[in-house]
Every structure is written in structure tokens, then in C-alpha cells.
Amino acid sequence: MFTRFLNRTVVLLDENSIVVAYDYKRGEQRGILKRAQKFGERRYAGFGDCVACNQCVFVCPTGIDIRNGTQMECVHCTACMDACDTVMKKVGSPSGLIRYASLNGIERGERLRVTPRLVAYSVVLFALATLLGVMIFTRADVEATVLRAPGSMFQKMPDGHYSNLYTVRVVNKTSRDLPVELHLENLPGHILVMGEGKIVIPSQKLVENPVLIEVDPEAMRSGTTPLVIGIYSAGKRLQTIKTAFIGPRN
């Protein structure tokens, strides 16, 4: 029975995989414990240690019966283990009817063995943990995007410069308020922050703010001009964003 359900679940498991398992050799045949009945009498009558209380099913968050074998829905919360141990203690039977074990551990009494599959999975898990650590410790303090305002056209300013309206979105990933500044990196011009004139992102928050970018027409191309914007905080460049500046066609 245990083997049948093991083969139907996940290919990552084999006979030596440690899972939350029901010791069917000790628990079967199931039967309700009668009043004043001793476990010796139960075994003589052909019953196992499982008293068919169904507490393991009642406490399971996914509603499975672990006594039917390893199942894909099992999340290894061990609630069934605790419930079964409590019942075994009340009826005077040893705990561990449901426990962490492998198929070979239940059928043959074997201990955990180091297999090539176990080594391979350990290496993969270590690599993933290392990658996660690198991503966490090397992530940027902010994540910003700059998008042109939908439906807006370029405008010619009184001083001859051309302007485009954008919306800047900045996510603060730190635990402190973060003031940011925007600077043009590749063209002469300036960026005007609408509203209060500055952007301060509260900790763990997202801020959207319209900005007006003005560019010297002598540095523009016909139609679309590549634009590079630097996101700075306290004089340190945190991110570089590439976008496009729309102007007249010559």
C-alpha cells in the first residue's frame, strides 16, 4: 500500500526518502479500541496499534488520510504526528505510529542511507540557497521605472528647449525614508519634478510622480532621441534607466 502511493506521487521520492509516514506494519489491521481491552488482546485478535480514531485526518490541513500512504497533498506540517502521538499516549501504546520514516525504514527497519540522489539534491539545494543569498545581498536599494505620460506630446519651451512629460515610479526596498534625485546622463538639459519639487520614498513603499524633462534641441535627433536617466540618493547613483525622448522630425 505504501509503495503504491509512493509511486503515484513525486518522482523525486524513492524508497529511502524520509517523509511523514504511517507505520502500516505496526498499525494494521485498524480497529476501534474497546473499553477495558488491552493491546495484547488486540494483537491476539489480529488488530494493530491504530485505533481508528481518525484524529490524523481531522487535524490535516489538506484533508488527506496519511494512513493511505504518501500523497502529493501532504505539506509535512506533522499535525498528524502530534495527534497520533497524543492518542497513543492515552491508550498506553508507544508513540511513532506516524513519524518521519522511509519505505525501507518501515518495511526493513533500515536507517537513512546516503545515496547518489541524496547527494545530488543536496548540491542543488545548496546552489539554490547560494543564489538566493547572492540575490538578497546584491539587490539594489530602489527599483525605478520611467514611462512617458500616455497621450502627451512634446512641447517647445520659451527658451527653445523641448520637453516631454513622464511618470517616474520608484520602489524603496530599504527600511528608511529615501530621498532620490534624477539627472540626465547623456544629454544636456534638466529634469523638473512636478509637485513639491523633490521625491522622497517612504520605507517599503512605492511612489509615483510626474516629471518634466527638457532637452537642448542641438543634442536631439530627428523624431526619437535615446535618453539615459540616473537615479541618485545622497550623491550615489543607485540605478540607470534608458527611455526615449520624442521631438520634432527635421
| pLDDT for the residue numbered 123 | 94
Position 113 scores a pLDDT of 73
Mean pLDDT of 88-98: 89
* pLDDT reported for residue 115: 76
Lowest mean pLDDT among 6-15, 25-34, 152-161: 6-15
pLDDT tens digit sequence for 192-246: 998 888 889 999 899 999 999 999 888 888 889 999 999 998 888 989 999 999 9
**Residue 136 CA to its chain's centroid (Å):** 13
Cell of 238: 543607485
Tell whether the model's pLDDT for residue 9 goes beyond 50.
Answer: no
**Domain range list for the chain:** 2-112, 142-246
Asked if the model's pLDDT at residue 151 lies above 90, the reply is no
- pLDDT bracket for residue 37 (50, 70, 90): low
Q: What's the CA gap between 83 and 241, in Å, rounded?
A: 56
- How far is 115 from 90, CA to CA, in rounded Å? 38
**Per-residue confidence (pLDDT) for residue 39, from 0 to 100:** 61
Helix (H, G, I), strand (E, B) or coil at 178: strand
- Cα(26)–Cα(2) distance, integer angstroms: 13
CB neighbour burial string for 53-79, b if at least 16 within 10 angstroms, e if fewer: bebbeebbeeebebbebbbeebeeeeb
Contact between 101 and 58 under an 8 Å Cβ cutoff? The reply is no
What is 83-98 written as a DSSP string?
Answer: HHHHHHHHHT--S-SE
Q: How far is CA 20 from the centre of its chain?
A: 23
Residue 36 banded pLDDT, cuts 50, 70, 90: low
Mean pLDDT, residues 169-188? 90
pLDDT band of 8, cuts 50, 70, 90 = very low
218 secondary structure, DSSP code: G
**Mean pLDDT in residue range 75-81:** 93
Calpha distance 17→102 (Å, rounded): 5
**Residue 168's pLDDT is what?**
92
The CATH-assigned architecture of domain 142-246 is Sandwich (2.60)
Q: What is the pLDDT of residue 11?
A: 58
- Cis geometry, peptide bond prior to residue 29 (ω within 30 degrees of 0): yes
| pLDDT at 196 (0 to 100) | 80
What per-residue confidence (pLDDT) applies to 1? 47
The rounded percent of the chain whose pLDDT value lies above 90 is: 41
Residue 144 has pLDDT above 70, yes or no: yes
Kindly report the average pLDDT of the chain as a whole number. Answer: 86
pLDDT of residue 61: 93
Question: Looking at residues 61-78, what average pLDDT do you find?
Answer: 90
Q: What is the mean pLDDT of residues 13-33?
A: 86
